[in-house]
Amino acid sequence: MKSKVAYFGVFTSLALIFSYVETLIPVNFGIPGVKIGLANLIIVTALYKMRLPDVFLLSVVRVVLSGFIFGNYFSIIYSLAGGILSLAVMAFLKRAGGFSVTGVSIAGGTFHNIGQLLVAMLVVETFSVIYYVPVLLAAGMLTGFVIGVTANEILKRLTAVK
């Protein structure tokens, strides 16, 4: 990637815009924490376009900024836990090979929710949140799938960015 700083800026602002768009969609599945995770579209795309340390930084910057703008202190901690775990798993699967963009994204979606669930368990000191595991896994899988298919199409058309 030639102008790294410029691309980093573009990706960051795109991720922020997606976070904003997400706040406009009134989704309430009756389960706290279930979101589409539009900003993850940028993270997945960036994973295939940038070096891993840069994607990691992008993920953290995105979470902190969108947390300050749209969320609160708590949402930053949850998103950070989910985002870092999700990115770690995605990077691992990508490096392991044999997975398509969609597969990597499905893993990312589910582990995003697992990360948040772990923090929730620590904060409220109860294990009963474990009863939301099936719903959160299914939701993560579904959103991961949608994000993965979309990211795949974006990557096909984004050949100019290198």
Partner 1 sequence: MGIGLKKKDVLLALIILCVIGFTVLIRTYIGGAGANRVVIKVNGAIQGVYSLAEDREIEINEGTNILKIKNGEADMVEADCPDQLCVNQKPVSLDHESLICLPNRVVVEVESKEESEYDAVTN
Q: Which stretch binds partner 1 (CB under 8 A): 14-22, 46-54, 57-65, 149-157?
A: 149-157
Question: For 98, phi and psi rounded to 5 degrees?
Answer: 90, -5
Under the criterion CB under 8 A, does residue 143 sit at the interface with partner 1? no
Q: Does 159 interact with partner 1 (rule: CB under 8 A)?
A: no
> Which listed range, 16-24, 57-65, 80-88, 132-140, lies at the site for partner 1 (CB under 8 A)?
132-140
Cβ-based neighbour number of residue 56 at 10 Å = 19
Q: Is 5 exposed, middle or buried (0-12, 13-18, 19+ CB in 10 A)?
A: exposed
Cα distance between residue 95 and residue 7, in whole Å? 23
Question: Among 44, 38, 30, which residue's Cα sits nearest to residue 107?
Answer: 44
Among 16, 101, 147, 151, binds partner 1 (CB under 8 A): 101
| Interface positions with partner 1 (CB under 8 A) | 28, 30-33, 71-72, 74-75, 93, 98-103, 106-107, 110, 120, 123-126, 128-131, 133-134, 137-138, 141, 149, 152-153
